[in-house]
Structure formats: C-alpha cells, structure tokens
Structure 1
Amino acid sequence: MLEESGHQLSLAAIWQTLQEEGFARLPRRADEERPPTLRPTAADVADIRQLDLTPRSLRTRFGGLFLFLPFLAQIPLDRLLSETDFPGSRMIPAGAALRSLLGLKLFGSARHSHVMSSVFDEGLALFAGLNVVPKRSFLTEYSCRIAPSGYPAFMKRWFAAINQLGIDRGVSFDLDFHTIPYHGDDALVEKHYVSKRSRKQKGILAFLAQDAETRVFCYAHGSIRKQDQADEILRFTEFWKERTGKWPQELIFDSKLTTHANLHRLTQRGIDFITLRRRSFEMLQQVYRVPLSAWRRIELTSVTREYRTPRILDQTITLSGYKGSLRQVIIADLGHEQPTFLLTNQLRRSAPQLVGRYAQRMIIENGIADGIDFFHMDALSSAVAMKVDCDLQLTLMASSLYRLLALKVKNGYQRARSRHLFRDFVDATALVTIEKSAIEVRFQKRAHNPLLLAAGFDRVDQRVPWLGNKRLRLVFG
C-alpha cells in the first residue's frame, strides 16, 4: 500500500513505527504451521551397541582405509588405550573414538569439522567400529579429556607394537622445532620464529624427532614454552631410554635447538651428536685469514647434490659451558656464501661421513613438509596445548601406518611421501560386503592395483577384533 501511494520506507522504519504503535512481535510458528520445505536428514547418534554387522552390502568413498586394517588389527589398540587411561564411554569407547580421529587423519582431512560431510558414509563408521562416525562436537572436545601424561605413555606402547610389524628401531635421529602459526588473539600464545615466513609470530612450538633410517616420526611434543625449549632434547633422550632401555646412539640438529651445557650432558650420556655452530663476525674473519694450503678437499659419496667436493678445516676446540674438547669442521664450497661450522663430539669419524650425515638432515625438513602438506600439521586445531598434542600424536600414528604401507608395497614407494601413497592407493572407493563370518572389501579397477596384488594384499586373512572378530578379505577389480 505504501508503494502504491508513492511512499518508500525501510524495514527498520516499518518495525520502529509498529513498536511505537504498541504492536508486539508475532509468535514463532510451530513446526506443523510451517510450509513444507527440504530439511537436512538427521544422522543417528554414534553408539557401538548399535553397530550392525548383519549380512549386507554398502559402498564407501573411504575404501582405501581398509588397507590399513591388516596392520591395525594386529595392534591391541583398545588395551593400549586402557593402560594409558584414555577416556571413553559405553556408547563410544576410547578405541572407537581414536579410530574415528585416525581415519580422518589417514584420509588427509584438515579439521575434525570436515567429518560432517561424511557422517552418512557407513564405510568410515565401519572402519572405526561404530554404527555412525561421531559428529564434529564429540571429535573436537575429545582431545580435551585426555590427560597430558597419557600421550608419552601411549606412544611408547604404540611404537613398540609398530616395531613388531616391521619398522625397526633406529639408532640415528633428526631433531627439529616447528612453529605451528596461530592467527588469533590469545595472550598466552608466545611468539616463535616461522621459517616459511622468515619472521617471528604467535604460534605453538612443536618438537619433532624422526628416525633417519625409516623416516618415521617417533616423538612429538606440542606444548613447549620458550623457557623449556632448550631442554626438550634431554626429555626426548629420557623418553627413548624409557622406551628402549638405552640412550639414542646419534642425534642430528641445528644450532638453535639447545645449549652448550646440554651438549655436555649428551656426551655424559654417551650420545653422539652433530650440530652447527652459530657464526660470528670474528669467527668468519679468523677463517678468511687461514692460508689455502691449510684446507683439505673431500668428496661426499652418500648424498646426491651439485656441491660434492667441499673444502674443510678440521679443528679441535673448547666452548664455554661444555667441559672437554669438541671437534669443529669448517666447510667451504658447499653452495653457501659463507663457511659452515659443523660441531660434533665424534672425534674419530671421518670428515666426509660427518658432512654427508648432516646433509641428510634435510630428511626431517621433508618429513615436516609432508606433515604440513598432507596431515595438515599447520591447521592449528586450538590454542589449547592439549588439543595440539592430540593432533600431533594422530599425525605420528598416521605417518607410521603410511610407512608400513610403503614398506609392504615396496617398488620404490619406501621413500614416497604420504600424499603420493594416498593418491595411488588410499584414495579409492570400494564395495564392502558384510558376510556371516567375513568382511569383503572390493576395490574398483585402478592402475596401481597390480602393486597391491604383488604385495600380497589379496591374500590378507586377518581377524578384526572390533568388527565381531570377522575375517577381512580384500579383492581388487
């Protein structure tokens, strides 16, 4: 009527006029009074007691997850979680909760909230051992219920079980810090150096240790404060001795990871190390004054790189905070503008072996890049340290399972990144048939199926405890 009479009023003006005239807001319509519209289908509540294992067939886009079941079924996950006091309930036991989180991590989901697009996929729920996968709210808050002391205790048991499946315990480890950027306003989050941005910013500092031989992350800690970061290397060695009964044999790390005093403590424990020494202007000037005749040229045979014949100065030095002598190898012609100062307590090892071993430390940086690229390590789940620890532990578990898959497939995949393995093998739909005493997973035809056949996946006959002890059978089209 107003428009017909040539008057224009906004909705806000109309509402204000009605209020001034004493009109109240109309009561909210009941559901039966609303016109029929499309509404989202409500999924069932996750409850292990409602798990249906009667004979039937279902199709799932998470078919590749069943390639990990032969490994997981040999690990007493529920017992390990019970021994380390991980929380659970009658509806969602600890094992089912962790398998739900692990399934998402294995499939490369960046955040727990992304599960909402897959809550109706019965294959993902079957992998976890539930009738439906838990919703976003449960998965998000579950990590807050885990005691911080539970993580190292669980990981010690997890890797003991993984070792029995074919991943050997290493003797040499690459160590590094990684800052997970935080973009919020939490005042308790400290600033740390972010290498990909070449500056300091707020973030969660995580310590990572990677087995140099198997390339498996074997330790992670995501709640490190600045005042504690120099001592984290000692905590790792104590964790490793508690797990294996002996100290690590060799540690490789950069110059900012710890202090000279802690280097002395490593030597007292009989642990070899190779690290870098921070360059100063005075140190560089001393090197430039050394005559060319004092340098010795070596050849690196264990690495593939352009600069394989650097020049070195091999010296014995002392440092404040370190009681005793250290070996310093100054390296030039290594592709850097300034010489590199290598520091070690290995006095008898040959210089080419020392330089070549430190050059291989790039492996952990590639591993961290893999964790960021596929496992979304930088998709910070929360500023709460407990949640970050949980996400890091899931990354360690998923990384070790992908290494097991790679070792079984072989054919050059032993060194492949997780995303490569996911693309070739895990990202596959499947038809799952639940039988009376078995579960058959039939994969679609794919170019890389012959590699899985050659690895013996078609001969898998493994009972799955959380799926009624039914036998798992994998079929490739």
Structure 2
Amino acid sequence: MLPIKVDCPVVGIYFFIPYLLELGIIDIIKQCKLPGSSVINNVSACLSMLALKLLGHERLGTMDNYDAEPGLGFFAGLSLLPKATYMCTYSCRTSEQMMLNFQKQLLQKFMVEQPELYGGDCINLDFHSIPHYGTESEMEKVWCGAKHQALKGANTVFAQDNKNNMILYTRADILRKEETLEVKKFVDYYKSIKKEITETLVFDCKFTSYKILNDLDIDDIHFVTLR
C-alpha cells in the first residue's frame, strides 16, 4: 500500500497514540465490548470521542466542526469522524454495568502503570447535576447549584483523588431515593480494585444518611463530613 498524505488541523493529537498503546487502552476497549457497528467499531467510536476531548471540547455536539477533516478521522481509524448525532446518542447504547466495568479496568491499569497519580490520602465525593432542557423531559428534578434552583436533569456522582484530582469513580442517572446509597456503592467498587480503603472519604453532610455513616464506621472506613 502506497503512503498517502493528509492534512490535519491539529496534528498534536497523534502524539497520544504511543501513550494509548503503552497503557493498553485499545485492548481494554475491546475487552469491555463497548458498543460498535459494522461501519464504526467500538475502538473507533471511543477514539472519536477522545479526539474531541483532546482538541479541548467538552461537548460532543461540536463534532460537526471537525467531521469533514480526514486527518482527524485517521486518528480514530476512520476516513472521517462520525456525525454529532451518532456521538451524542452513543451513551444510549451502553449499560451501567458496561461503563462501570470499563472505568474499573482503566483505573486498575492506571494504578499499576502510574501509581504516582493516585497518592492522595483523601477521596472527595460529590453529586453533580446536568440540567436537561427538553420540553418533554421525564427526568426527575435535581438541585443545580450553578443555577440555584431545581431543574429536570441527570444526577451524577464523582469520586476524586484529592492529590492530583484524578477521577476514581463516576455514575450517572441516580434517582433521588437512591442518593444516600452512593457512598456504599463507591466503597464496594473501590474495594474490588484495592481490597482495602485506607483513604479518608470527604463529602457533604447531606451526602448520605446517619445509618450509612454508622455502617461505614463499623466497616472501619474513615470519613469526614462537611457542613
């Protein structure tokens, strides 16, 4: 096959390819069996989303600004990056267990290959709401701190290493009636990776219930609540 020359508006994203290969991220995507199709396999789908993040964009909807650039498509193993509609609906094809398994395998790999990134003595846990402005939204109302009001949207939780701000755990679409259980779900998840939790968990005093705080105390999980 003869070499071809293609212009790329942001060639810097290609410098990440050795890093992706060294960490085995491509293999993890394949093992987790993330969604794909006969046209766009799961690796190309994930690399397409990664390309947009490496370009510095938070929203997948901005994909339309780059889906006519072959140089960016090649990064994901495609002739062109997928359309924004495909990228924005990709999460609808995934399951909660699929994503938990994916982030678990990534975290296990990162902790082995780059342990210096996870040396914090505390883990911060907090909810983050994502407003949904659809006129026929069936989502629950959640408190949006940035808007200072309750809006329909998705409630998500994040666990973050306090030293280097590395994300340890995420989960989305949390119902209000299940919010108090999130800290226990994180503990179970993190124990499946580290076996023992030596870090101190830090969260708001309304993050969970007194009963669950008592359970954490019984399990010898150290925590600090913020008022």
Global fold match (TM > 0.5):
yes
CA–CA distance in structure 1, aligned partners of residues 168 and 149 of structure 2: 28
Specify the alignment match of 1:206 in structure 2.
Answer: 156
Matches within 5 A, 1:369-408: none
Q: Which residue of 2 aligns with 1:183?
A: 133
Aligned match of 1:103 in 44, 51, 71?
51
Q: Give the corresponding residue for 1:64.
A: 12
SS at 1:257 equivalent: coil
Alignment of 1:399-438 (within 5 A): none
The residue number in structure 2 matching 1:336 is: none
SS state at 1:74 partner: helix
Structure 1 residue 77: deviation in Å?
2.9
1:73 aligns with 2:55: no
Following superposition, the deviation at residue 210 of structure 1 comes to: 0.5
Partner of 2:74: 126
User: How big is the shift at 1:117?
Assistant: 2.5
Residue number in structure 1 paired with 2:176:
226
- Structure 2 contact 125–157 (Cα < 8 Å) conserved: yes
Partner of 1:163: 111
Cα separation, 2, equivalents of 1:248 and 1:184:
43
Could you tell me how far apart the structure 2 residues matched to 1:164 and 1:69 are?
19
After superposition, residues 266-281 of structure 1 pair within 5 angstroms as 266-277=216-227
2:202·2:226 contact (CA, 8 Å) conserved in 1?
A: no
CA gap 1:89/1:185 in 2 versus in 1, 3 angstroms: closer
* Closer, same or farther: CA 54–267 of 1 in aligned 2, 3 Å: farther
In structure 2, what residue type is equivalent to 1:111?
R
Matched, 1:88 2:36: yes
Identity %: 28
Runs of 4+, deviation exceeding 6 Å: none
Structure showing the higher helix proportion among its residues: 2
SS in 1 for 2:197: coil
- For the 8 Å contact 1:247–1:269, the answer to whether it is kept is no
Compute the displacement of 1:67 (Å): 3.0
C-alpha distance in 1 between matches for 2:130 and 2:198: 27
> Secondary structure at the residue paired with 2:79?
coil
1:106 offset after TM fit, Å?
A: 2.4
Query: Any unmatched runs of 5+ in structure 1?
Result: 1-52, 278-477
Q: Highest relative contact order (Cα 8 Å, sep 6+), 1 or 2?
A: 1
SS state at 1:209 partner: strand
Shift, 1:116, TM fit? 2.2
What secondary structure, in the 3-state scheme, does the structure 1 residue paired with 2:29 have? Answer: helix
- C-alpha RMSD over aligned residues: 2.0
Query: 1:149 and 2:97 equivalent?
Result: yes
Give CA-to-partner distance per residue, 1:113-135, whole Å, 9 cap, x none: 32222122222112112222122
Distance 1:198 1:113, change over 3 A: closer
Q: Is the 8 A contact 1:238 1:247 kept in 2?
A: no
Matched AA of 2:130: I
User: Matched residue of 2:37: which SS?
Assistant: coil
Opposite residue 98 of structure 2, the aligned amino acid is G
Mapping of residues 319-338 of structure 1, within 5 Å: none
Q: Is the 8 A contact 1:177 1:208 kept in 2?
A: yes
Shift of 1:187: 4.8
Instruction: Note the alpha carbon deviations across 1:169-204, whole angstroms, 9 max, x for none.
Output: 344201111111222234531122221222222221
What secondary structure does 2:22 align onto? coil
- 2:124 partner SS: strand
Contact 2:130-2:154 at 8 Å conserved across structures: yes
SS in 1 for 2:126: strand
Contact 1:250/1:273 (<8 A) preserved: yes
Return the TM-score normalized by structure 2: 0.89
Contact 1:71 1:165 in 2 (8 A): no
Taking a change above 3 Å as real, the CA distance of residues 95 and 248 of structure 1, as seen in their structure-2 partners, is: farther
Contact 1:116 1:135 (8 Å CA) reproduced: yes
Deviation digits for residues 191-239 of structure 1 (CA, Å, limit 9, x no counterpart): 2222122222222111111101121111111110000001101101111
**Unmatched 5+ stretches in structure 2:** none
Larger radius of gyration: 1
Displacement of 1:138 in angstroms is 2.6
| Deviation per residue, 1:279-319 (Å, 9 max, x gap) | xxxxxxxxxxxxxxxxxxxxxxxxxxxxxxxxxxxxxxxxx
Q: Distance in 2 between matches of 1:166 and 1:229?
A: 32
CA distance in structure 1 between the partners assigned to 2:96 and 2:162 by the alignment = 27
Deviation at 1:248, TM superposition (A): 4.8
